Each structure stands twice: as structure tokens, then as C-alpha cells.
Structure 1
Amino acid sequence: MRLFTALWPPQEAVQELSRAVDALEELPGAEALRWTRPEAWHFTLSFYGEVTEDQAADLRARLVRAARRAPGPLPMRLHRAGRFGDRTLWVGLQQEEPHRQALKKLAAATTAAGRRAGLLPDDKHPSFHPHLTLARAKGRRTADLRPYVEQLESFQGSPWSARELLLVRSVPPRSGVPGEQPRYEPLERWPLGP
């Protein structure tokens, strides 16, 4: 099974962002993008790839500790958009210090849990850039994402707090239908903080 850890925004935050994204889907060229479904919007902390049942059990034990060591709920808000080249459109987070550092530490702890469970190489120290993917260019094409980023320049969602660390299973599409997206199934949830 393919696993990753994530934070999931609450329904109210998703609805606010969804209204802003609906307007983006009306812009010229939007059909060249594969838009992610709002119910799948999340912030990935660490991606582990294929994991056996034994590895998953070890990982779970380590993630329980990582969640417990986090400093309680993490205040944040969805804020502005950005892009990774001409392939991926995303929305980011706005956080005050020390919450920004606490989120980075949580991401590092979930990555360390994956390394200690033998799922990630020791030399893997990815930089953490919290983002929620809104759309990707279809196939191997690229797209001019600047108009979408500009449209969301002033977007600022309402404040909310991440309260749980989730271990999520990614179920890849099987139908062969172009554009079909993976399905995400939360397997475990742990409250953040002692």
C-alpha cells in the first residue's frame, strides 16, 4: 500500500477555497488543467511510497510519538497561490511564528519516522514547502499558470487549526480513464500535542 502523512483542512476552509477555485475553472485555458477534487485537498508532510504491513506497524508507532510531541493544534489559514514551474498550481499557508516552525518540525518528524521505519533513505532530507495542490497540467504538457496565481493573489481564507496528523493510503486509479485521480483513505488519526 502507498502511504503518506498529511494535514487535512476543515470543511469550512475547503468550501471557501472551492468558491475561489470555481472562478478559476472559468478562465481561458482551464481545460488544459486537471483540477483536484476539494474532498482530496490536503497538505502532505511526508510521502513513504509502497509500505508492507510490518513496515506500516512500525511507522504507526513512530508517528504516534511524532504527533504527541507536536505543540498541540497548529493555527493557520489558506493563503495565496503559487506554482511549480508550468505544471502544478497550488495554494499555500499563512502562519505566524512559532507555528510555522512547529509545522516544519512536524514534517521533519514524520520524515524521520519514515527513515527509522526503513521507508526512506537516510540521505533524504527534503525541503518542506507546505502547499495544497489545486491543479496539474494534463499529461506531459505544460500550461501558463500565471493567470491563476494572479487571480488568487489576494485569497486569504479564514483561520483554522490543524488538530490531527493523518496516515493516509493513496489508492492509484485503476480504470485507465485519462485524468482519473487517486483516492485517499485515512487509515489513522492522531491528535497533535500531549
Structure 2
Amino acid sequence: MPLEFMTYGEWDDALWAAIEPLYREAFPHGAKPVNILHAMLDKKIAWLHAGYQNGKMAAMAVTGLSGSSAERILIIDYMAIDTQLHRQGLGKQFLEMIRDWAVQEHHVHAVLIEVEAGNTEDDVARVYFWEHCGFIATSYVHQYIWIPEPYRAMVLPLSQDFVITRDGQALFRHITNFHMKSFRKSGD
């Protein structure tokens, strides 16, 4: 069953009420507080994406942009599929919808995500999913001060001109800058 894809650039409490259970289930630790997500949309640095199946919330994502127009990158901050719908191809379908939206609306040259760099079964499964979707894992492992688990950048190049730095450190500058903008108070 195909997903109905919607992108939202403004905060809506009713929309969030539908998305939040999926968000909380997928990200019980390390999720941004709701007020930060709300502010990200208010500051116009992020979008909420929703995937509906039979009128019910099946998928969600939070994305933002980084880089100049010549090397624009879409950062997937969060993406989740309802666990009852896993292994049906919805994650890949939803990702393709996000990618297509980003290319059409923002002319992105790559899609970037950070994934846990640990060796747990869940960590390995996440990396496998992103690789299955065409993402390339970088070797650099980033350790945040405030989050215990290490992360690795994975990138999906969308143009021939996009240069992949295999170590991933340069890609993490995009991710870090996006996080800094996310937590920065308006007017700063």
C-alpha cells in the first residue's frame, strides 16, 4: 500500500499529536524536546514530513538544509516508521519521497544522516537499512559530549559533482551546524 506524503513547514499542534507517539517510540533517548522542534519550524530551518497509510500516521521525519546552494545538503535529523509496519518497504519508500521533495524544492546535491556507530544488533540493522537505500558510511566516528553513544555520518550523493569525504569529519560539520541552529534561541 503506497504512502501519502506530506511536508509541513509550520508547527501544528494537531499534527504533532499524531506524530509524537511515533517519534517517542522510535527515539526514547536523545530526541530533541518538543519546544526545540517547534522552534526549528518557527525559525524556518526544518520541516516535518509525514507518511500516511489508510489515513493513519505510518512514518515521520524531521529534516533541514545545510551548505551553500552550490553544495546544498538535506540533513535527516529524525526518521521513523511505525514498528508494526516494518519490513514492508515503507522506510525506503518514505526516504525516496523525502529525497524527491528535497531535490525538487531545494535542489539538494546529497542527503546526510548520522547513525549510531555502535555494534548492537539495532545499530547494525540501522546501518544496513541506510546502505540498502544507497547511503555510504564514512569512517569517522563522532563522539558528542552530551550523548553517550558514538555516531557516524552516512551520505547519499545525488549529483556527480558531490565530493564524498570518506572520513566523514567534514560532513559532521554540517550536522553540528544544523544542531547548533536548532538549539539557538531566536534573535541570537
**Does TM, scored on the shorter chain, surpass 0.5?**
no
TM-score (norm 2): 0.28
Greater RCO, CA 8 A, separation 6+: 1
TM-score (norm 1): 0.27
